[in-house]
Amino acid sequence: MITALSLLALFACDGKDEATTDDTAGTDDTAAAVDTSGQVDGDNDGYTPDEGDCADDDPNINPGVVEVECDGIDQNCDGVDLDDIDGDGYLCSTGEDCDDYDPTINPGAADECGDGIDLNCDADPECDCDGDGYESRLCGASGVEEDCDDTDPTVYPLADDECYDGVDSDCNGINDFDCDGDSFESAEYGGTDCDDNNFANYPGAEEICYDGQDNDCSAATDDCDCDGDGDGDPSCGGTDCDDTSDVVYPGATEAYADNLDNDCDELVDEGAYCNEWAPLTNVTTGANKVYDVYYDGNLLTETVEPTSYDPTTGLATLARTWAGSLAYSFVEDWSCQPDEVAMDGWSMSLSGIPFLQLSFGTPRVDLRDTESMLVGDSWEYEYIADDLSFGTVWEVSGVIEVESESTEIIAGTITYDALVLTNDYSLVNSLGGQLDREGLVRMYYVPRLGLVYSEDVTDEGLLFESRELTSYAGFYP
């Protein structure tokens, strides 16, 4: 039985064939595709609804496309839009979840202050947790802008820092127990800084005298006694007349030739033989001594020139020159002590040619105070002289006697008041025999001028012997 529906189908099939045969050139390429099951692919994206295309009118939505996150559309038709990737219950498409890849970041999270992360998605990283206007370093702050403790609003850069409370309130990194910043902690809190309010005062600093401060934190250096001699400067109530020298203070022993008023009595080197008697007087004054002397009728001009002097050791070198009919030159080595002087040796040249060089094995020689010598006084002397020129050793001894006073002696055209002394001497040498000598020399001494005249009485020895023997005996101007 042929129904009307069957006839309609036949007519339809006949019409499709005619269209295929007659209208091929006019076929539309975008027309919906039909799969083998007869189902139409409405958007021509290769998927029919039975094949999972959940939007057959949109070729960009089908099971084969990549899902776009957080756009509110299920592009791959899996029934889920990637709008809550981390599964924390907050959508990213609506802007609720500011980081949909981290389930700990969402509007319902508790935001930890100071970590530099916006955990609750309120667009505030909360980098100033204590509200003091300075951010933590976790938010990128550094240097003078960094809050070193973002949990305490009283701690921030340039805040007032109270020393010794153990808190770095101003975030400058300086030890809270070293308030002046000199790298030494306060002595009151176990350190060694005696003045933690002044960076210039600390152990080892240079002591500045009379500033009223203990700059070096040492009790050994008194601010008022800078030379450490036990007496302070007058500006601090002391009595030290020279607070730069530890050998100068009231009651000190007067030194022998240092040109200092050691005992602060306003007298320099008083009582020191080195200054009261030639030749060392000339060393300390720096002036040459020049005067005329006579030896057996020979007029000589004697010049004593200080060539070196060390006031610490008392060692001096003098150059003595005789000019005239004789041409002797001596270089004498002297040493000085507070109560005596000594000649340590001498060398001589004749007309510029070295002749003798002596070094004394017993050099100490006591000077005599001419003002206290009386007629009849005498003293003995002896010493050893090493002759470095001829290799012999001399044993020298003798007796000096104050014979008389001459109120007027004539030496050439010069008149002197002088003491007359005799020197009874002997010289015994290690080579023996012909080099031994003895004799008597008469000497005329004028205070502060020296030996102005000498003559051999019993021995016609060389003139330099009679001159220099007087020095060795212990009497020398």
d(CA 376, CA 388): 37
Would you give per-residue pLDDT tens digits along the chain (477 residues)? 333 333 223 333 343 333 333 443 344 445 566 655 667 888 888 888 888 889 889 898 898 888 887 777 888 898 777 777 887 888 887 778 888 788 988 888 877 776 777 787 877 667 777 778 787 766 766 666 788 887 788 888 888 888 898 898 888 877 889 888 898 999 999 999 999 899 999 999 988 888 889 899 988 778 888 888 989 889 888 999 999 899 999 999 877 667 788 899 988 776 555 555 445 554 555 556 666 666 556 677 777 777 777 766 767 777 777 777 667 777 877 776 656 667 778 787 877 888 778 787 766 555 565 666 789 998 888 888 888 877 888 888 888 899 998 877 766 566 778 888 888 888 888 777 667 778 888 888 776 566 667 777 776 555 444 444 444 444 443
pLDDT at 141: 66
Beta strands in 371-475 (DSSP E): 378-387, 392-411, 414-429, 437-446, 450-456
Q: What is the DSSP letter of 279?
A: T
pLDDT at 454: 73
Element (H, E) at 8: helix 4-22
Exposed/middle/buried for residue 407 (C-beta within 10 Å: 0-12, 13-18, 19+):
exposed
Is 167 domain-assigned? Answer: no
3-class state of residue 11 by DSSP: helix
Is 299 domain-assigned? Answer: yes
Is 236 domain-assigned? Answer: no
pLDDT at 473: 41
Is 310 domain-assigned? Answer: yes
Q: What is the DSSP letter of 261?
A: -
Backbone φ and ψ for 4, nearest 5 degrees, come out as -65, -35
Is 477 domain-assigned? Answer: yes
**Residue carrying structure tokens 């990213």:** 92
pLDDT at 5: 31
Alpha-helix runs per DSSP H in 249-341? 273-276, 280-285
CB distance 53 to 44 below 8 Å: no
**In this structure, which amino acid lies at residue 86?**
D
CB distance 151 to 112 below 8 Å: no
User: Which DSSP string do the residues of 19-75 spell out, in sequence order?
Assistant: HHHH-GGG--TTSPEE-TTS-EETT-SS--GGGT-S-TT-TT-STTSPPPTTSS--T
d(CA 388, CA 391): 5
d(CA 404, CA 422): 10
CB distance 53 to 47 below 8 Å: yes
Is 315 domain-assigned? Answer: yes
Q: Which tokens belong to 416?
A: 């002197």
Number of domains in the chain: 1
Is 364 domain-assigned? Answer: yes
Exposed/middle/buried for residue 1 (C-beta within 10 Å: 0-12, 13-18, 19+):
exposed
Q: Which tokens belong to 255?
A: 């030194």
Is 79 domain-assigned? Answer: no
Q: Enumerate long-range contacts of 154-159, CB under 8 Å, 24 or more apart.
A: 155/130, 156/130, 156/132, 159/132
d(CA 20, CA 22): 6
pLDDT at 372: 67
pLDDT at 184: 93
CB distance 157 to 132 below 8 Å: no
3-class state of residue 267 by DSSP: coil
Cβ-Cβ contacts under 8 Å for 249 (sequence gap 6 or more): 229, 230, 231, 239, 240, 241, 242, 263, 264
CB distance 274 to 280 below 8 Å: yes
d(CA 167, CA 152): 11
Domain containing residue 444? 273-477
